[in-house]
Amino acid sequence: MVEKLLSAPAFCGAKLTIHLDRVCANWRKLADMTAPKARCAAVVKADAYGTGAAITAKALYDAGARTFFTAIPSEGITVREVCPDAEIYILGGLFHGRAGTYELHGLRPVLNSLEEIEEWRLFNLGRETALPAAIHIDTGMNRLGLTLDEAEELGTKRFEDVKPFLSLLMTHLSCADEPTHPLNALQLERFKKMRGFFPGVPASMANSAGVFLGEEYHMDIARPGIAVYGGNPIPERENPMQAVASIHAEVVQVRWVEEGHGIGYSASLTATKRSRIAVISAGYADGLHRLAGSSDEKDGAHFFVGGHFVPLAGRVSMDLIALDVTHVPEDLVRRGTLVEVLGDNVLVDDLAKHAHTISYELLTGLGRRYHRVYSDGSNQPEAMA
């Protein structure tokens, strides 16, 4: 109750809006691209990429998604509470000694090693109907999954042992966001060969970027993540997805800084002329990275206010960011004005680039101090106060 009160508009300096209609529109776009050959799942790990797993998964379920992927069991349990009959796979695998948790909540482990496969096989012994699970084959990521030799031996010598519970065979693309990278075709060739050792088992390969590699990569189930949340799946191309998250931070003070004076910590940026500076209530404690700031040596990110892009002036501090609004009419930027930090004008991939990171890290790292609002497209999110 206290946490809910403190996240109300009157107690917050910035607002985070999650556009659920756009989440669903992005997912439907990807589902249309993979249909009719492949079903489209949704990856909702890391709190649905920072958007809130329970609310976002329910919206995706209502839009037609019936298969979800999370990283760990607790995330899967959250999704199960709002999607009672969905297929929920746990990408992190079968955590040691916790098979009962998966059974209790109807979760499907993605078995990443022979050891995990054996533990799940033993857990299923004596059951009339085996509990489903996926098997992950490493075709070039070199992270999780069976080696090619392990997969071939399992398929040729022990397929009958795993057949009762094997609901999905999957691999993970390493370089799909680089469409011409030779590893994409090599992984496809390897996975096709591995599928031959597990006849009749549905397969999954395409992540967000993989969906855009073409039908051959779609297999039976595609599992997009970042594209559902508005990130650009192919960075070298124009983003085909809609922006999902928007942040608006309140101006808490407007001041003039004289030429030659430093702005912010370490005076990293020196005013080259008399400048009007607006300070907003947001900072790196809200997930806005310090590297997005500016200095005398480098430009920083730009935010958007009053129809104008405005540059960050100096460092991003814990709770505050200074903006140079000298070129914006004074009546458009005052104490209480809301500045777009992220949204339709300040794109998540552009902001991430200025922060020397990626959209995944930016979205999943958004802090807890925002007044969080969910919009279905029919409602106008309320003002801060």
Active site residues: 45, 265
- Give CA–CA dist 89/312, Å, rounded: 42
Assess contact for 38 and 213: CB atoms under 8 A.
Answer: no
Instruction: Give the residue from 210, 125, 127 showing the smallest Cα distance to 174.
Output: 210
